[in-house]
Amino acid sequence: MTALHEGTTMTLWGGCFDVPPDVLLRQLGDSLPFDRRLASADVRGSIAHAAALKDAGVLDATEHDTLVAGLEEVAAAFAAGTFEPAPGDEDIHTAVERLLTEKVGPPAGKLHTGRSRNDQVATDLRLYLLDEIADLGPALAALQRAIVAKAESHLSVVMPGYTHARRAQPILFSHWLLSHFWKLARDTERLTELTRRVAVCPLGSGALAGTPYPIDRDAVAAALGFVGPSENSLDAVEDRDFVVEFLTWAALLQVHLSGLAETLIMWSSESFGFVELSDAYATGSSLMPQKRNPDSLELVRGKAGRMIGHATALLCTLKGLPSGYNKDLQEDKEALFDSIDTLKLELPLMAGLIRTLKVRAAHMAAARDDALLATDLADVLVKKGVPFREAHAAVGSVVRRAEREGVPLTRLDLSSYQAIHPAFDADLYDAFDAHRSVAARAARGGTAPDAVRCQIEFAEAELRRASQPIEFNRKESVQ
């Protein structure tokens, strides 16, 4: 039943109230400014509910057809941007019902039979998120494809690899870049897995106890593209696990994007010069004309705190709620919407940045030094039967001697090496070849060109697999 306050203003409640809500309560609680983006989902859910009410004998054919036609008009108004909010539109559900009432009159009052805003908003949010996931998946794949293409076109570039922000061993630039592909591949897997849990239909749960009308909830779920209906009406209306799961997924993806951004920020600096950003992804200084600042990457890095905060904030909101629906759950939407909007900007931005990234192989080569090959020097002794720990200690002594003498390892004479360990002979100098070092690491997952080519093949196969439509199996659905 609807109640009227302030003339013709509509609310979806209030029959037992003597006064309208305080204006400050309305300002605090009204969600239309941000939940209006759920309009399409709200109309879709309402059309499915109208069909269920017709099948249950609550609506006759004429009423059903009138409601569906009116709802389609409402959807068209939102799509065309002609919707104008009214003072009583506290949320998208109120706005849709008000517009529907204006278009079809009294039959609109029957649409809410057997449902509550509690199951309605949960349904809307799940429908909306499924639509957005369908866009985020391809955007994530586009970034992965950009990474693979860039890696494939730079298979001969050898650079210093780093641990603890210190030069460690030579690796292929392509190998480094592909390390970020596999982080994103795991993000894709997690997105697919959480989608199965989003695709559960709460509609028909009512406020908490279910519906007394003979609604076919399986049919409603199928009509809306869900796996199936929720199994417990109380759980269905209070469940926001799927939002938390998406927000934690988004936060982890953002951490991965931030890590990639941070490395590219360092490597594009004058101190490294390993890569150069296209001007399309840099900005200048208002004072210093020579500056090309990596603002795009800094913003991606900076968004990580906010995305982590969204997940944390919703968990904190949920942790103290009593059973059943509570208005606190309205706090799920702005965090969800912001996370989605952020990723829909960042993913194509990062894909374009990677595609246009200039790789400066000469600067990478200049940054390599003999010390990068200290492990290879130890392997020379190992191949002569020296235990690795003994070889490790011997090469450590060689490094210290070279440092004391102020010369690279290749400038130490053979007698200096043999004074440290007698197993050294003239072939030790063959170890100081970065390309040979890289090529030796040919085991699966290694940095050798052949191994990286295989990795690229696996990456392309992963992209093909991930591009297949998600097929839901009811038994696989986890609520």
Catalytic residue list contains 164: yes
Q: Which of 110, 140, 142 is nearest to 46 (CA)?
A: 110
CB 229 within 8 A of CB 215: no
* Cα dist from 52 to 205, 223, 227, 371, 423, whole Å: 13, 10, 17, 73, 84
- Same domain? 162 vs 33: no
Strand partners, 159: 171
- Same domain? 105 vs 139: no
Percent of the chain scored above 90 by pLDDT? 86
- Is 90 exceeded by the pLDDT of residue 2? no
pLDDT band at 417 (very low <50, low <70, confident <90, very high): very high
- Same domain? 102 vs 129: no
Domain final residue, candidates 113, 146, 164: 113
pLDDT tens digits, one per residue of 178-190:
999 999 999 999 9
Rounded to whole angstroms, the maximal C-alpha distance in the chain is: 101
pLDDT tens digits, one per residue of 102-155:
999 999 999 999 999 999 999 999 999 999 999 999 999 999 999 999 999 999
Give the active site residue among 285, 397, 435, 467. Answer: 285
Q: What is the mean pLDDT of residues 275-302?
A: 93
- Is 80 exceeded by the pLDDT of residue 30? no
Q: Are strands 228-229 and 200-201 parallel, antiparallel or unpaired?
A: parallel
Domain final residue, candidates 98, 113, 128: 113
Confirm whether 446 is domain-assigned: no
Confirm whether 245 is domain-assigned: yes
Q: Which helix (H) or strand (E) holds 170?
A: strand 166-172
pLDDT tens digits, one per residue of 43-57:
999 999 999 999 999
**Alpha-carbon distance 66 to 106, whole Å?**
11
pLDDT of res. 12: 66
- Same domain? 132 vs 99: no
Any idea what the CATH number is for the domain that residue 414 is in?
1.10.40.30
- Same domain? 293 vs 422: no
Q: CB within 8 A of 324, min separation 6: which ones? A: 208, 234, 237, 238
Confirm whether 107 is domain-assigned: yes
Structure tokens, 65: 């057809």
Confirm whether 361 is domain-assigned: yes
Confirm whether 447 is domain-assigned: no
For helices 295-318 and 241-267, give the axis angle rounded to 10 degrees: 160
Any idea what the CATH number is for the domain that residue 269 is in?
1.20.200.10
- Same domain? 248 vs 391: no
pLDDT of res. 398: 97
pLDDT band at 305 (very low <50, low <70, confident <90, very high): very high
Give residue 424's region: left, alpha or beta (phi > 0; psi -120 to 50): beta
Q: Which helix (H) or strand (E) holds 162?
A: strand 158-163
- Same domain? 302 vs 345: yes
pLDDT band at 471 (very low <50, low <70, confident <90, very high): low
pLDDT tens digits, one per residue of 218-255:
999 999 999 999 999 999 999 999 999 999 999 999 99
CB 133 within 8 A of CB 331: no
Per the structure, the count of domains in the chain is: 3
- Same domain? 216 vs 345: yes
First-residue to last-residue Cα distance in the chain:
31
**Alpha-carbon distance 318 to 13, whole Å?**
25
Q: Which of 233, 186, 209, 148 is nearest to 452 (CA)?
A: 148
Q: Which of 1-5, 111-115, 322-326 has the lowest mean pLDDT?
A: 1-5
Catalytic residue list contains 40: no
- Same domain? 320 vs 385: no
* Cα dist from 396 to 329, 390, 427, whole Å: 60, 10, 18
- Is 50 exceeded by the pLDDT of residue 476? no
Q: What is the mean pLDDT of residues 349-355?
A: 98
- Same domain? 425 vs 411: yes
Percent of the chain scored above 70 by pLDDT? 93
- Same domain? 401 vs 361: no
pLDDT of res. 5: 36
Q: Which of 22-36, 81-95, 322-336, 351-365 has the lowest mean pLDDT?
A: 22-36
Give the active site residue among 164, 271, 286, 415. Answer: 164
Segments forming the whole domain that contains residue 410: 370-440
Q: What is the mean pLDDT of residues 154-170?
A: 97
- Same domain? 44 vs 109: yes
**Alpha-carbon distance 81 to 59, whole Å?**
30
Q: What is the mean pLDDT of residues 458-464?
A: 96
Confirm whether 167 is domain-assigned: yes
Q: Which of 24, 33, 3, 203 is nearest to 98 (CA)?
A: 3
Confirm whether 431 is domain-assigned: yes
Domain final residue, candidates 96, 113, 130: 113
Confirm whether 378 is domain-assigned: yes
Any idea what the CATH number is for the domain that residue 48 is in?
1.10.275.10
Q: 3-state class of 111 per DSSP?
A: coil
